[in-house]
Structure 1
Amino acid sequence: MAATTTNNDLDATRRNKKPRLLQEGERARLDEYIDSIGYSARYNDSEYEYRHVQLPKAMLKAIPRDYFDPAKGTLKLLWEEEWRGLGITQSLGWEHYEVHEPEPHILLFKRPMNYQAPQ
């Protein structure tokens, strides 16, 4: 799957320069948490629809350190290949645009209103 194009309003310094895929052993450590990932209902404004994804807190300890922003101590903004590799499943078009810093296990996603997947 090709990398999602970075939106102009995302800070590219907050993500890896290119997707850093999980190795098999790293992925295996995350498997026990996948069924406990929570997904919010969608909500929107006039431009985007949004949702947040809640990772189990213990899962953060199993995610490789280079997925984290050392300055903030929270996850970096993840490429689609990265968040899908962690076990987050959602339809096409979603982009990870923020981490809810008071609760770093909550990842915020958005996509344009009326998104149509490429044919």
Structure 2
Amino acid sequence: MMDIDFTRRNKKPRPLSESERAKLEEFIDAIHYSARYSDDEFEYRHVQLPKQMLKVIPKEYFDGSRGTLKLLWEDEWRALGITQSLGWEHYEVHEPEPHILLFKRPIDYQAAAH
């Protein structure tokens, strides 16, 4: 497993309303994706949201005690407009720069066949 602190997530994904999604639309093209980097187990990348975007993300996505986003479920980060292939997990937030979300997935990730 990936050692994700599930206490830092919402208990279940919190969907966005249409009006919330509409407020986020203008920022989606400005989301920046880093190159991937890896260690022996995982590949990583960070996703940088435009700082102004944090002002329109619903408060339920934030961890008030840290002043950062919670660890987002895949449904939540995809709802914000982050697009990446399957298998990525949001595992950490860079606290000095709360608009940077850190993602990882197993190096040999293969989408499970359904």
Which among 26, 29, 32 is matched to residue 32 of structure 1?
26
TM-score, scaled to structure 2: 0.97
Distance 2:41 2:72 in 1: 21
> Residue 59 of structure 1 aligns with which residue?
53
> Residue 16 of structure 2 aligns with which residue?
22
Say which structure is richer in strand.
2
SS of the aligned residue for 2:102 comes to strand
Unaligned runs of 5+ in 2: none
Distance 1:8 1:48 in 2: 9
**Where has structure 1 moved over 6 Å in runs of 4 or more?**
none
Distance 1:33 1:8 in 2: 29
Which among 81, 92, 97 is matched to residue 103 of structure 1?
97
> Residue 66 of structure 2 aligns with which residue?
72
> What's the CA shift for 1:10?
1.1
> What's the CA shift for 1:118?
1.4
Percent identity reads 75
Q: In the TM superposition, what whole-angstrom CA distance separates every residue of 1:67-106 from its partner, at most 9, and x where no partner exists?
A: 0001001000000000000000000000000000011000
SS of the aligned residue for 2:103 comes to strand
Q: Which residue identity is paired with 1:118?
A: A
Distance 1:10 1:82 in 2: 16
TM-score, scaled to structure 1: 0.93
> Residue 43 of structure 2 aligns with which residue?
49
How many residue pairs match? The answer is 113
Q: In the TM superposition, what whole-angstrom CA distance separates every residue of 1:48-85 from its partner, at most 9, and x where no partner exists?
A: 00000000000000100010001001000000000000
